[in-house]
Amino acid sequence: MTRGFTGEPVVGPVRGYRWWRVTPEGWLESPWYSHYRWTAERNGAECRSPGRRLLRRGWKKRHPNGVPGRNCGCGFYGLHRVPAPDDCSGKLWEMDPSTWSGAKGFIFGLMAAWGTVLLGTEGWRAQQGRPLALYVPLGSRISLDGRLDLVLAHYPVPVISSLDELVSEWAPQGLDLLGAASAA
């Protein structure tokens, strides 16, 4: 369940882990629902729920402060932690990065988010975001079918080949630092 941020405003972006799908042209896209194509610097989330956009009164009710809406699934998501290999939740975003990042066109990484951010127990949804770093294990570079160079031409971000290094150098802030220790 997503909870609204009730603490003090956070200065600067919030970081979180997420998945992207790499297109044949090397663009990062949201992998499962909207296939939103990301830019390198600033991406603005939109509600892409067709029924909610057609019924403006219902849309405003679900999005009183804009996107993301507390009663909607819209916004860019980020995870508080790296999915563990033994996670058995069946959630798509909890794929094991050491197995899947760089395979079948998926890539795991870290993003920065700002604007309205709704915190939840597993992660958050945000109004604005941009890619910060990508995790591509050494053996996976071939799995991207030569698209890694195209990705880096579009997104000047570090590519980290060690999951431990990604976590130690780029880890998201803890919920306690976000002023929402009770949200966990």
Is 166 a domain residue? yes
Strand stretches in 49-177, DSSP E:
76-79, 106-120, 123-135, 159-160
Is 124 a domain residue? yes
**Each residue of 34-81: pLDDT tens digit?**
789 999 999 999 887 655 455 666 666 777 777 888 878 888 999 999
Is 152 a domain residue? yes
**pTM, to two decimals:** 0.82
CA proximity to 101, closest of 159, 177, 44:
159
Alpha-carbon span 124 to 4, nearest angstrom: 9
Domain that holds residue 120: 2-177
**Each residue of 126-172: pLDDT tens digit?**
999 999 999 998 776 556 778 899 999 999 999 999 999 999 998 88
Is 182 a domain residue? no
Is 183 a domain residue? no
Is 98 a domain residue? yes
- Tally of domains in the chain: 1
